[in-house]
Amino acid sequence: MSKDSLSPAPGAPSQGGSYWSLLTNGRFEAFLWTQFLGAFNDNLYKMIVSLVAVRAAAEAGGGKYLALAGAVFVLPFLLFAGYAGQLADRYSKSKVLQVTKSFEIVTMLIGIGALVSGRIEYLLIVLFLLATQANFFSPAKYGFLPEVIDEAGISRANGLLELTTFVAIVIGTSFGTFLYSTWKDAPILMGGTLLGLAIIGSLLSLFIQKVPASGSTEPFHWNPFHEIVEGTKELAKDRMQALSVIGISWFWFIGALLQMALLLMGKEGLHATDNEIGFLVTALSLGIGLGSIAAGSLCGSRLEVGLAPMGGLLMGLATVGLGLSTAHETAMFWLLFVGVAGGLFVVPLNAWLQEKSAVREKGRIMATNNFANMVGVILASACLWLFHDLLGIKAGWIIAGTGVLMAVSSVFVAREMPLFAVRFVLRVLSWIFFDVRLEGGEHIPKTGGGLLASNHISYADSVFVGLCTPRVVRFVMWKPIYDIPVAKTVFDWLEAIPIDASSPKPTIRALRAARSVVESGQLVAMFPEGSITRDGEMQKFERGFERMAVPGLPIFPIHIEGLWGHPLSCKGGALMKSWEKVWRPVVRIRVGPPLDGSATPDELREAVERLAK
């Protein structure tokens, strides 16, 4: 495999498994720089147009152009999102990125003429063309990632993508102000700078890893909203994907509302100067970038969509703090906090949407997502106009109210996907309290049913077995433990399968239910010993698992070690009696090659024993 290839060879570890491996990959670097320069140029030019509009407003009552600049940039994402999705699905996404990037050069050539003319109408036309280019670039950009990076690296790749995007926004906006103030009387120099950036970005796009077309054979639809309607229908079939699009659009709504409301709050409540207001917007953007990187680190090699409601709750609380701020320094702190939490919120949702959407429909889903995002931006403008201009509510109170709504909605989202939220919390707790070292996790495939069979050394074993794979694992457990009042709610969220051993018939029904789960293509975990070891030694494997196993489908032997003597083990005969090595003991989890579902209890026990070193 070539040095710059991001597609891992079969059986090889993911090259997307760390930030370093991504940042040292030439093809991925080219992708990052290409999209960075695109976002940088877009915001630089948009700032120049805004400043020209402000001058026109001062000189000739042209304030309408300032509002038009925002509307013009959003319009192509509403009109042409469907076309962009179709192109991304029909053709190689790397080729789409390169072609659309070259269109930026043509746009900037036209832009030089618009700058020389000094006519705001012409500048708005160029801004429309830039937004159109960005619209066609976006579905290919987000759909490209899961084609070159596997699930182990997709969250980190999204973290880097969001970081570079928001850094580009901050620097592009700031540099636009500098460029205009320096060369407002030298439009050729301004336009030449923009053209040079477009040429550099287009040249870098040639080094992006080439990917084949996804294979969509659907005819091209000229109705601009056909893809959006079809994409919405697809999302309606998958609750998690639909929630992801709603969550990402909610993030754009909040971001747009904050960006506009901050300008008002800075004057009304903080009495800030123009420079200080600029610092507030910068703090928000940088916070999102930092939060995006943190999200990639927390997700690691998994799609931890359960991080989203946690990030949303923090974002809501920080937004309330921001709305109640009365000092510039306090507002800066809360904005940075809002941004970091926003990164934690949006990165796992983006990663989930990219990874889980069908290969031949990624462009359609990404286009639908872009459309929904822009609707969120428009609704933010409408809400600010309604509450601030019509009802006279101060910007600070609007921001605080938005934070309350964000926090409440995050609780709702957590209740809608409790399995993922609880799994993420358990994973974080395992990282805090244990030094977990997994070997052989690659034996468990990304799809297909199977049984996970582990030794049982502690009360935390279910958590450690769940760490063996990014997939959802359903556990078989004794009903008396399942029925513990407080724990039962958590077990329900985790979709555990209780076994009632009070009589044979309920036991057989539960085992058959577990078997049907395996046959449906899911993973079921169980502890064949039947109970936690009392002496640290592996006990005899009971025969019950044979009713869950399916001949032809795998059983994955798992061995856990390092917990004997921990308070969660039964050393000494009672839980919580021994406190040796309580804080972050090394826990080794080894997954062995799969056995066939027809394996006997003795064969399975021997396979688990062989994993003990």
Tens-place pLDDT, residues 291-316: 888 888 888 777 788 888 999 999 99
**What CATH number should be reported for the domain holding residue 535?**
3.40.1130.10
Asked if residue 580 has pLDDT above 80, the reply is no
Look up the CATH number of the domain holding residue 376.
1.20.1250.20
Confidence of residue 200 (pLDDT cuts 50, 70, 90): very high
Alpha carbons 279 and 526: distance in angstroms, whole number: 54
pLDDT tier for residue 575 given thresholds of 50, 70 and 90 = very low
Assess whether 407 and 451 both reside in one domain: no
Highest mean pLDDT, choosing among 102-106, 420-424, 482-486, 498-502: 102-106
Q: Are 305 and 299 in contact (CB under 8 A)?
A: no
Tell me the residue range of the domain where 93 lies: 24-153+169-210
Are 469 and 554 members of one domain? yes
Tell whether 496 and 560 lie within a shared domain.
yes
At residue 578, does pLDDT exceed 70?
no
Measured between alpha carbons, how far is 203 from 209 in angstroms, rounded to an integer? 13
User: Is the residue at 110 inside a domain?
Assistant: yes
Q: Which of 265, 394, 261, 272 is nearest to 328 (CA)?
A: 272
Is residue 14 in a domain? no
Q: 55: pLDDT confidence band, cut at 50, 70 and 90?
A: low
111 and 243 fall within a common domain: no
Same structural domain, 469 and 395: no
Q: What is the mean pLDDT of residues 417-433?
A: 85
pLDDT of residue 256: 84
Please report which confidence band the pLDDT of residue 595 belongs to, taking 50, 70 and 90 as the band edges. Answer: very high
Whether residue 12 is contained in a domain is answered as: no
Give strand pairing partners of 474. Answer: 524
Instruction: With both helix axes pointing from N to C terminus, report the angle between 307-323 and 239-268 in degrees, rounded to the nearest 10.
Output: 20
Report, as an integer, the average pLDDT of 254-264: 81
pLDDT at 3: 38
Considering the domain architecture, whether residues 188 and 61 belong to the same structural domain is answered as yes
- The alpha carbon dihedral of 358, 363, 369, 375 has a sign of negative
**pLDDT above 50: residue 197:** yes
Quick: pLDDT tens for 118-158. Answer: 888 888 899 899 989 999 998 888 888 888 887 778 888 88
Residues 512 and 566 in one domain: yes
Are 296 and 160 contacting, i.e. CB atoms less than 8 angstroms apart?
Answer: yes
What SS3 string covers 42-77?
HHHHHHHHHHHHHHHHHHHCCCHHHHHHHHHHHHHH
Q: What is the mean pLDDT of residues 570-591?
A: 68
What's the confidence (pLDDT) of residue 205? 93
In the predicted model, is pLDDT for residue 579 greater than 60? no
Amino acid present at 342: G
Least confident of 96-100, 149-153, 370-374: 149-153
pLDDT band for position 2 (cuts 50, 70, 90): very low
Residue scoring higher pLDDT (241 or 10): 241
pLDDT band for position 382 (cuts 50, 70, 90): confident
Q: Is 90 exceeded by the pLDDT of residue 583?
A: no
32 Cβ contact list (under 8 Å, min separation 6): 160, 161, 164
**What stretch of H or E contains 231?**
helix 226-237
HEC sequence for 82-117: HHHHHHHHHCCHHHHHHHHHHHHHHHHHHHHHHHHH
Q: Give the C-alpha separation, 397 to 585, whole Å.
A: 48
Answer for the pair 204, 33: CB distance below 8 angstroms, yes or no. yes
Answer yes or no: do 174 and 58 share one domain. yes
Given this model, what pLDDT does residue 13 score? 33
Do 189 and 308 belong together in one domain?
no
Judgement on whether residues 468 and 405 belong to the same structural domain of the protein: no
Dist. CA 430–CA 466, nearest whole Å? 11
Q: Which amino acid is at 6?
A: L
With bands split at pLDDT 50, 70 and 90, how would you rate the model's confidence at 10?
very low
Question: What radius of gyration do the chain's Cα atoms show?
Answer: 27
Query: With bands split at pLDDT 50, 70 and 90, how would you rate the model's confidence at 274?
Result: low
Provide the pLDDT for residue 66. Answer: 58
Confidence band (pLDDT; 50, 70, 90) for 198?
very high
238 in any annotated domain = yes
120 part of a folded domain:
yes
In a domain, 369, yes or no: yes
- CATH number for position 146: 1.20.1250
Among 393, 416, 439, the domain-final residue is 416
Number of separate domains in the chain: 3
Instruction: Give the pLDDT of residue 17.
Output: 57
- Amino acid 201: pLDDT: 93
Among candidate residues 161, 189, 210, the one where a domain is terminated = 210
Specify the pairing of strand 450-454 against strand 554-561. parallel
Please check the confidence at residue 500 and state whether its pLDDT lies above 80: no
The DSSP call for residue 534 is: S
In the chain, the N- to C-terminal Cα span, in Å, equals: 33
Contact 260, 384 (CB under 8 A): yes
- Do residues 467 and 600 share a domain? yes
What percent of the chain has a predicted confidence (pLDDT) above 70? 92
Amino acid (1-letter code) at residue 592: G
Identify each DSSP E strand in 495-582 by its residue range: 497-499, 523-526, 554-561
Q: What is the mean pLDDT of the chain?
A: 84
Same-domain status, 601 and 556: yes
Say what the pLDDT of residue 582 is: 59
Chain-centre distance for alpha carbon 568: 33
Final residue in a domain of this structure, among 358, 390, 416: 416
**What mean pLDDT comes out for the span 441-447?**
87
Write the CB contacts of 171 (distance below 8 Å, at least 6 apart in sequence).
40
DSSP state of 216: -
CA 74, CA 90: separation in Å to the nearest integer? 25
Residue 58's pLDDT band (boundaries 50, 70, 90)? low
Report the half-sphere exposure of 449 (CA within 13 A, side-chain side).
17
How confident is the model at residue 317, as a pLDDT? 95
Separation CA 315–CA 409 (nearest Å): 11
**Which pLDDT belongs to residue 581?**
52
With respect to residue 13, please indicate whether it lies within any of the assigned structural domains. no
Check whether 60 has a pLDDT greater than 70: no
* Residue 481 covered by a domain: yes
Statement: residue 92 has pLDDT above 80: yes
